[in-house]
Amino acid sequence: MRLLLDTHVLIWAARDPGRLSERVRDLLQDPGNDLFVSVVAAYEIEFKRDRDPDVAALPAQLTPILQQMDMEWLLLTNRHAALAGKLPRIHGDPFDRFIIAQARIEEAGLVTKDAKIAAYGIPTIW
């Protein structure tokens, strides 16, 4: 299964896996799943680094964390950006609209605890 992790899922997986649901922990450990993290998450993490202690504790270079957890970066394309710009403003977080667009175009389940994302009609997993 193709899974795209919301930014908070990456942070919790790296810093405090106990905050993840049992289902999510199982999915992240299943070698049959393809796990992706949006490059938008890298920007979001840097944007929030000063305000969130969990984020501040992450190393500046996230690629080794992704490699350790067998995850890959999902690059942002013009198709992703165009769709993100057209999405309704149900969710006030522009970072999440980019990730929603990527999940839709890449046909990936979006792993998130954010209930607002389900309003966009994409498969969410928690």
Domain boundaries, the chain: 2-125
> 2-125 belongs to which homologous superfamily?
5'-nuclease (3.40.50.1010)
Cβ atoms within 10 A of the Cβ of 85, count?
11
- Residue 124 confidence (pLDDT): 97
Number of H helices, E strands in the chain: 7, 5
Q: Report the alpha-carbon distance of residue 10 to residue 74 in Å, rounded.
A: 13
3-state secondary structure 46-68: HHHCCCCHHHHCCCCCCHHHHHH
For 6-22, the pLDDT digits (tens) are 999 999 999 999 999 99
Average pLDDT over residues 74-98: 94
For 66-75, the pLDDT digits (tens) are 999 999 999 9
Average pLDDT over residues 57-65: 84
